[in-house]
Amino acid sequence: MSSELPEEYLEGIRLFNAEEFFECHDVLEELWTEVVDEERKFYQGLIQAAVALFHFGNENLGGAMKLYRSSREKLELYGPRFMGLDVDRFLADMETCFRELLDAGPGYPAHVSLKDELLPRIELTRIDLDNGNSST
């Protein structure tokens, strides 16, 4: 699989799973700036997901919510699977992670914080190069 996907993408996923969200953002942003095709918004959605988690962890709840929503809006365009990522599962995991913040409503609820046990992970599956969708 690694030879079929950009190295920066794989490194971004590794950093995301290592909870190095800002570093993930940096690596994926380099890739995002070089891409002009349909993958561009996909990378942007992943970047925004990483930054949303970074903000959530730093208690910037307004920034976290804004980027969560923007990330979701972009990534929903690529479901159910794209570039080896189960997009639908990832979005469900992100929603679970953000559920308490989503339910808290507007403002800055002091009782809401990022919970390590709810952090999403990205598991890639094999890629079918003909159409960019994953196969089993």
Condensed to tens digits (0 to 9), the pLDDT of residues 65-114 reads 999 999 999 999 999 999 999 999 999 999 999 999 988 876 666 778 88
**Cα distances (Å, whole numbers) of residue 32 to 77, 89, 90, 98, 109:** 17, 22, 19, 25, 33
pTM above 0.75, yes or no: yes
Condensed to tens digits (0 to 9), the pLDDT of residues 7-56 reads 999 999 999 999 999 999 999 999 999 988 889 999 999 999 999 999 99
Q: Considering its fold, how many domains does the chain have in total?
A: 1
Neighbours of 6 (CB within 10 A): 16
Say if 130 falls within a structural domain: no
Say if 41 falls within a structural domain: yes
CATH number for the domain spanning 63: value is 1.10.3450.10
Say if 57 falls within a structural domain: yes
Say if 111 falls within a structural domain: no
Residue 8 gets the label, from left (phi > 0), alpha (psi -120 to 50) or beta, of: alpha
Q: Which domain holds residue 69?
A: 7-106
Say if 63 falls within a structural domain: yes
pLDDT of residue 135: 42
Say if 53 falls within a structural domain: yes
